[in-house]
Amino acid sequence: MSQPAEAAGITHRLVASPAGRLHLVEQGSGPLVLLVHGFPESWYSWRHQLPALAAAGFRAVAVDVRGYGRSSRPADVAAYRMVELVEDNLAVVRALGERTAVIVGHDWGANIAASSALLRPDVFRAVGLLSVPYAPRGGPRPSEVFARMGGEEEFYVPYFQDPGRAEAEIEPDVRGWLAGFYAALSADTMPPAGAPDPHFVSPGGTLRDRFPAGRLPAWLSEEDLDVYAAEFERTGMSGALHRYRNMDRDWEDLAAYDGAPITRPSLFVGGALDPSTTWMADAIAAFPDTLPGLVAAHVLDGCGHWIQQERPEEVNRILTGWLTHLGDISYQSVTERR
């Protein structure tokens, strides 16, 4: 199995965290920018951003979230609740000898980044959200909301929440499943309008039944797929899936932040063809209230879900421009909510 050569100048490190250890990859020097991946990915999803941010004068650090890659994988499902992941990010900042950081996340990483800026604005001085917009805690318990979606079909979130069920589908053929999942949400390979939605499971079926087959998206080489598959073949899928299994716990843990805005400077970048953008259009429309520090919002035409890999050059221009602009913003002290 071949793997792509890693870019010159990157450094792999293990740092202590409440999870045990966190693996990270860093490149460059300057103000710290913490990059948090989503499901089902790893630090490698930021491979195009690390050198670009380093060249722009930043210390770019991409982590393996707990449960992924070379980071620790606690056995307890509750260990993957959001407040624990925020503590991991704080541990990374401290381990790197920094006091503050800008945090940028994609997919689940966007939720983790948003929660980090919400809970600890004293440390995370700005937040960038890719693909998944910020939506404050509120409304009914998440499991109740997702259970009502799809009618006779089952939405993928409840499917993932049932321990062992998704693992049984994925783990016999990790590489093939990942290829189909990535293709289903990529602009150039996603199912056409009117085809069965790959976010839903038919009675007695699996998610994979609706994945496109036969072609990788343009952004994903065979070698890139090898990297992702090798990580999950080694670790299994449970650590990654446990994030979905804590949504109700998060709703309970963050009750004090019901409806709370994120006041730190922020950025949103979404893909016009990404269901995360279209399904959450109301959340984007609410940004004047929920992200009062929003510096810019971009929706990229013809782009799917894997935004920083599908459109790396464009995302790099947006990120470096925003980060450079942040240097001109005078930050006021923010009192931590308790």
Task: State the CATH number of the domain containing residue 130.
Answer: 3.40.50.1820
Q: Is 107 a catalytic residue?
A: yes
pLDDT value at residue 213: 87
305 noted as active-site residue: yes
Backbone angles phi, psi at 201, to 5 degrees: -115, 130
| pLDDT for position 9 | 84
Q: Does residue 222 lie within any of the structural domains? A: no
Q: Write the single-letter amino acid at 104.
A: V
User: Would 100 be classed as within a structural domain?
Assistant: yes
User: CA–CA distance from 233 to each of 32, 69, 74, 130, 333 (Å)?
Assistant: 31, 10, 17, 27, 45
The residues, ordered by sequence, that sit 6+ positions from 50 with a Cβ below 8 Å of its Cβ are 7, 10, 25, 26, 27, 28, 35, 60, 62
Would you state the structure tokens that stand for residue 133, as one six-digit string? 């917009």
For 262-305, the pLDDT digits (tens) are: 999 999 999 999 999 999 999 999 999 999 999 999 999 999 99
pLDDT tens across 150-201, in order? 888 999 999 999 999 999 999 999 999 999 999 999 999 999 988 999 999 9
What's residue 337's pLDDT?
23
What letter represents residue 192's amino acid? P
Query: From the candidates 88, 107, 224, 250, which is the catalytic residue?
Result: 107
Question: How many domains is the chain built from?
Answer: 1
Q: Is residue 143 included in any domain, yes or no?
A: yes
Residue 296 resides in a domain: yes
The predicted structure's pLDDT at residue 334: 28
Structure-block tokens of residue 47: 């491979």
Q: Does 238 reside within a domain?
A: no
Confidence at residue 151, expressed as pLDDT on a 0 to 100 scale: 85
The verdict on residue 211 lying in a domain is: no
The domain of 86 spans: 11-151+244-326
Task: Specify the pLDDT at position 193.
Answer: 87
pLDDT at 336: 26
Please report the pLDDT score of residue 327 as a whole number: 76
Task: Give the global pTM.
Answer: 0.94
Query: CA 253 → CA 113, 119, 243, distances in Å?
Result: 16, 11, 14
Residue 132 lies in a domain: yes
In a domain, 294, yes or no: yes
Spans in the chain with pLDDT lower than 70? 1-8, 328-338
